[in-house]
Amino acid sequence: MVKNNSKYSLLVEDGKEVSKIPLSCYAISSIATDLTDHKDNTKYFSILSHHPSVDVRTNIAQKEKIDNETALRLAKDSSISVIRVISSNSVFKKIATIDMLEKFIKLDEEVARNIAYNISGYSECDIDKIVELLIQTESPETIYNLASNSDLPKKHLKNLSNHPDPKVAIEAKYRLENN
């Protein structure tokens, strides 16, 4: 759970007076969803990434115009929903370390599948190390996502073409023949 003492309100000006309306977590979640994913909103994404609502933080994790600090904060979130989304975020992928990915892969199979599918996007990590971590999961679904990734180096596809799961092996052979 994220501790946050912030209060969120809607200010309404009618030309004569200003009214302040407190906002519920549901209203904040809607606002987080509707905020345009633009660099002008990066500051607001950062503020909302501290919100105690997992829905709000998950919505912010989907934004591609978050800053590195916000991406790292969300990568340390206690909610698996937030982790699942941030693991595919382009900002996070540019700054993720192999230690972060290893933690994520061990934490949740859906996150491992996301990493397998997006393997080439983790620019600060050695792809061979990521592949090794993903294969260690022994999850056929995760390894299938790895085999179906068009950016996976051929040496790994060759290894996967002999995988005991026929769907993984066939997909790896297909990628080898069509890449």
Q: What is the DSSP string of 5-71?
A: ----EEEEE-SS-EEEEE--HHHHHHHHHHS--SGGGHHHHHHHTT-S-HHHHHHHHT-SS--HHHH
User: Which of 7-11's residues contact partners 24+ apart within 8 Å by CB, and which partners?
Assistant: 8/51
Report which of 148, 150, 112 is spatially closest to residue 132, judged by C-alpha positions.
112
Cα–Cα dist 135/149, whole Å: 14
Q: 81 with 54: CB under 8 angstroms? A: yes
Q: Cβ(48)–Cβ(23) under 8 Å?
A: no
Strands 18-22 and 9-13: antiparallel
Residue given tokens 């501790």 in the structure block: 3
Q: Which pair of structure tokens corresponds to residue 8?
A: 């969120």
pTM over 0.85: yes
How far out from the chain centre does Cα 61 lie?
A: 7
Q: What are the mean pLDDT values of the chain's consecutive 10-residue runs (179 residues total)?
A: 73 91 93 95 96 97 98 97 97 97 96 95 95 95 95 95 96 93
